[in-house]
C-alpha cells in the first residue's frame, strides 16, 4: 500500500514484486539512477558558483552545442550505471554510439539496457530555469551473456519496462513508472532522501494549456497551425493558455499535473521533427499512457513506432487525451496520411 512520505527506497522495495520481472536488478537500476541524480542535482544547484555554465566547446551527435553540464551529467549517469554492473548497455543522447558493458565477460548476466538524455533543456541552465534528466529502460532482446547489439536499443516504446524523468528546479523530483502507474518523489535536500509526494499521478482528460514554440509557427505544417488557432479562439472554455519553458521534462510535468498538451511538430525546417524518439519521446509517451494520457506523432501512437536508428527524430504531441485527439484531427484533415 503506497503512502505519502514513503521514501523512494522503501517504495522500490515494497513494490518490486509488481515489476514484470522481479529479480531485483530493476530495483538496483532505479537506485543507481536515483544516486546519479543526486550528484547531478548538487552540481546544477551550484552552477552559478563554479565554472560549469556555458558551452563546453563541442557538439553532440545531433550537431547541437554541448553545455558543460551536459558533459558532466552524461559522465555521472554512465559512471553510476557502469560501476554497479547492473546493465549490459547504455545509449546516451550525448554519445555517437551505444556503450556495451562487460561485452567480453561471458558470465555477464545483466538483462537491461538504458537510454538516457542526461540533461534535457541544458541551455536553460545559464538563466536558472528548470532542467531535467529523461531515462528509458528495456530488457535486451539478444542472448544474455553476449555483447549487447544495436537491436537491443531499437525497440518500440511499448517494450519499455520502466521510464521516467528527474526535474532539477525549485525542488528536485523523480517521476517514474514501471508499467503500474506513475509516481513522483521529491528530494528533501536536508537529509538527501526522496519522498513520495505525488502518488498515482493521472493526467486530466482535458486541459487548458498548450505548450509549443510559437516562434516556429510560420514553419509549421497547416494542420498544426489550424490547431494553434483553435487553441487561441475565444469559444467555450477557450482560449487556452500558452505555456512553454523549453525543457521537455518541465513542460511535460506541468501539463501532466494540470492538464495540457505539449507539441514539437515537424516543420519546413525540421521535416522529421526535433525531439529524439528513443531518449525523449518514448519515455514521456510511456509515462503519459500510464497516467491516462496520450502521445502521438500526429498519426499513430509514439509507442508503436519501430525505431530505425539510435538518434531518430519524430514529431511529438503528448498530454491530455482529448487534446491529443483534437490535434490529430486537425493534422489528418489538413494532410491525410497516404
CA distance 158 to 18: 18
Compute the average pLDDT of residues 145-159. Answer: 95
Architecture of domain 209-334: 3-Layer(aba) Sandwich (3.40)
CA distance 338 to 335: 9
Q: How confident is the model at residue 12 (pLDDT cuts 50, 70, 90)?
A: confident
Check the annotation: does 95 bind a ligand: no
Residue among 254, 40, 31 at smallest CA distance from 133: 40
Q: How confident is the model at residue 54 (pLDDT cuts 50, 70, 90)?
A: very low
pLDDT at 83: 82
Q: For residue range 110-137, what is the model confidence (pLDDT) as tens digits?
A: 899 999 999 988 777 777 788 899 999 9
pLDDT above 70 as % of the chain: 88
Compute the average pLDDT of residues 88-95. Answer: 94
The three grid cell numbers given for residue 259, joined into one nine-digit string: 492538464
* More confident site: 9 or 2: 9
Compute the average pLDDT of residues 126-152. Answer: 91
Check the annotation: does 31 bind a ligand: no
CATH number assigned to the domain covering 8-198: 3.30.540.10
Break the chain into its structural domains and give their ranges: 8-198, 209-334
Q: For residue range 160-219, what is the model confidence (pLDDT) as tens digits?
A: 999 999 998 888 999 999 999 999 999 998 888 999 999 999 999 999 999 999 999 999
pLDDT at 67: 56
Check the annotation: does 28 bind a ligand: no
Check the annotation: does 124 bind a ligand: no
Check the annotation: does 297 bind a ligand: no
Check the annotation: does 236 bind a ligand: no
**Res. 61: pLDDT tops 70:** no
Q: What is the mean pLDDT of the chain?
A: 88
Check the annotation: does 51 bind a ligand: no
Compute the average pLDDT of residues 11-27. Answer: 72
pLDDT at 52: 43
**Res. 241: pLDDT tops 50:** yes
Q: Same fold for the domain at 8-198 and the one at 209-334?
A: no
Check the annotation: does 287 bind a ligand: no
Check the annotation: does 119 bind a ligand: yes
**Res. 44: pLDDT tops 50:** yes
pLDDT at 18: 63
The answer to whether 137 and 149 have CB atoms below 8 angstroms apart is: no
What global pTM score does this model have? 0.91
* More confident site: 322 or 66: 322
pLDDT at 48: 53
Check the annotation: does 194 bind a ligand: no
**Res. 68: pLDDT tops 80:** no
**Preceding omega of 190 cis (within 30 degrees of 0):** no
pLDDT at 28: 85
* More confident site: 279 or 107: 279
Check the annotation: does 85 bind a ligand: no
Strand ranges, E, within the chain: 55-59, 65-67, 89-92, 99-100, 112-120, 131-139, 160-168, 172-177, 183-188, 193-198, 209-211, 241-242, 261-264, 294-296, 316-319
Amino acid at each position: 500500500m503506497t503512502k505519502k512520505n514513503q521514501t523512494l527506497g522503501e517504495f522500490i522495495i515494497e513494490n518490486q514484486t509488481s515489476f514484470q520481472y522481479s529479480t531485483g536488478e530493476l530495483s538496483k537500476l532505479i537506485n543507481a539512477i536515483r544516486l546519479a541524480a543526486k550528484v547531478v542535482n548538487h552540481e546544477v544547484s551550484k552552477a552559478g558558483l563554479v565554472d560549469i555554465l556555458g558551452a563546453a566547446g563541442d557538439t553532440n551527435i545531433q550537431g547541437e552545442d554541448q553545455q558543460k553540464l551536459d558533459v558532466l551529467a552524461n559522465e555521472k549517469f554512465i559512471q553510476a550505471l557502469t560501476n554497479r554492473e547492473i546493465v549490459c548497455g547504455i545509449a546516451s543522447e550525448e554519445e555517437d554510439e551505444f556503450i556495451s558493458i562487460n561485452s567480453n565477460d561471458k558470465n555477464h548476466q545483466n538483462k537491461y539496457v538504458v537510454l538516457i538524455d542526461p540533461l534535457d533543456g541544458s541551455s536553460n541552465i545559464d538563466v536558472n530555469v528548470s532542467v531535467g534528466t529523461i531515462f528509458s529502460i528495456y530488457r535486451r532482446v539478444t542472448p544474455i551473456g553476449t555483447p549487447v547489439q544495436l537491436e537491443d536499443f531499437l525497440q518500440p516504446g511499448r517494450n519499455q519496462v520502466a521510464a521516467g524523468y528527474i526535474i532539477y528546479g525549485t525542488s528536485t523530483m523523480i517521476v517514474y513508472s514501471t508499467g503500474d502507474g506513475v509516481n513522483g518523489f521529491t528530494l528533501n535536500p536536508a537529509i538527501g532522501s526522496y519522498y513520495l509526494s505525488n502518488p498515482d499521478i493521472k493526467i486530466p482528460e482535458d486541459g487548458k494549456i498548450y505548450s509549443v514554440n510559437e516562434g516556429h509557427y510560420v514553419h509549421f505544417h497547416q494542420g498544426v497551425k489550424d490547431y494553434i488557432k483553435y487553441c487561441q479562439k475565444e469559444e467555450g472554455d477557450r482560449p487556452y493558455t500558452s505555456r512553454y519553458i523549453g525543457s521537455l521534462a518541465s513542460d511535460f510535468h506541468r501539463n501532466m499535473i494540470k492538464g495540457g498538451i505539449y507539441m514539437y511538430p515537424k516543420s519546413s525546417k525540421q521535416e522529421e521533427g526535433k525531439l529524439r524518439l528513443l531518449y525523449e519521446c518514448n519515455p514521456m509517451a510511456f509515462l503519459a499512457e500510464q497516467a491516462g494520457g496520450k502521445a502521438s506523432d500526429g498519426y499513430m501512437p509514439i509507442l508503436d513506432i519501430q525505431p530505425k536508428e539510435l538518434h531518430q527524430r519524430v514529431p511529438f504531441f503528448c498530454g491530455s487525451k482529448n487534446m491529443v485527439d483534437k490535434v490529430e484531427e486537425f493534422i489528418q484533415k489538413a494532410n491525410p496520411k497516404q
